[in-house]
Amino acid sequence: MHQAVGVLIVDEPYGLEPTFRAVLEHEPALHTVSEADLIRGGPDMPGATVALVIVGAGDSGGGAARIERLRARCPGLKILAAFETLDAAASGRLVAAGADVFVARSACARVVCAAILALAGLPAAARTVDPTDGLTPREAEILRFLSAGFSNKEVARRLNLSVRTVETHRLNLRRKTQTGRLKDLVALARHLGLAPVTEADGAVSVRRAAGPSPAAFTAPAAL
């Protein structure tokens, strides 16, 4: 069992579609576990475990609270936050609570499976699904700016980053999304529920996280 990846689905009070949950539970490389299993441990537990936390629209506070409780009980747990909509304030709350990667709740089960496997560090050869999008919190934030037409220099100034750092994130976004065209970035940000940048948005400090890989997230985690 040690080669499988454990998945703790934290879906209250929103839940997952039965078919979506079924795909996760029947993916050979994944093994669903309970919080009691995590705390109890034992030789039958998977070598790595990822918590999938569902965050409803307008409930980033509740999602952050659930993530904080998980972090307190299981400090080494990897956490994937599935969001409906994400703006700068919500992103900041979830990252501060301990989310590692974002993924859109609208993403298909195959995409979520790939994000879980990548976050767990499963070697590419061992994955039974193709790598797909998984945007880190910082990539999701930069995507919001780029989709709004901000230049690399403007993004760097607003987020207190170097231009070189923004360029690196932009290259990662190009690799993951397979596009660099503005209209595609706008469509992707809209699909992921990433709120557009406004003048009221200030610089946001986002912890960089290691995450999955190429087409429709956030990580999350979407040139």
Question: How do residues 1-23 score in pLDDT, each as one tens digit?
Answer: 456 788 888 866 666 677 777 77
Determine, yes or no, domain membership for 24: yes
Rg of the chain taking only CA atoms, in angstroms: 17
| 112 and 158 housed in the same domain | no
Please give the tally of structural domains in the chain.
2
| 160 and 89 housed in the same domain | no
| Backbone CA torsion sign across 172, 176, 179, 185 | negative
Find the domain containing 146 and state its range.
137-192
pLDDT of 148 higher than 70: yes
Determine, yes or no, domain membership for 187: yes
> Which residues, at least 6 apart from 183, have a Cβ–Cβ distance to it below 8 Å?
none
pLDDT band at 97 (very low <50, low <70, confident <90, very high): very high
Mean pLDDT check: name the lowest of 8-12, 55-59, 173-177, 216-220.
216-220
pLDDT of 79 higher than 90: yes
Q: What is the mean pLDDT of residues 79-88?
A: 84
Give the length of the chain: 223
The pLDDT score that the predictor gives to residue 175 is 75
Is residue 145 within 8 Å of 165, Cβ to Cβ? Answer: no
Is residue 112 within 8 Å of 131, Cβ to Cβ? Answer: no
Angle, vertex CA 67, rays to CA 211 and CA 160, nearest 5 = 55
pLDDT band at 205 (very low <50, low <70, confident <90, very high): very low
Q: What is the mean pLDDT of residues 180-189?
A: 74
| 92 and 185 housed in the same domain | no
- CATH number of the structural domain spanning residue 89: 3.40.50.2300
The pLDDT score that the predictor gives to residue 196 is 67
Nearest to 159 by CA among 180, 173, 145: 145
Determine, yes or no, domain membership for 216: no
Q: How far is CA 154 from CA 150, 157, 181, in A?
A: 6, 5, 18
Q: What is the mean pLDDT of residues 132-143?
A: 74
Rounded CA separation 120/52 (Å): 12
Determine, yes or no, domain membership for 203: no
Mean pLDDT of the chain: 74
Count of CB atoms situated within 10 Å of the CB of 17 = 9
Q: What is the pTM of this model?
A: 0.59
pLDDT digits (tens, 9 = 90+) for 55-74: 888 888 888 999 999 888 88
| 57 and 105 housed in the same domain | yes
| 114 and 141 housed in the same domain | no
| 168 and 93 housed in the same domain | no
| 75 and 171 housed in the same domain | no
Considering 42-46, 82-86, 120-124, the range whose residues carry the highest mean pLDDT is 82-86
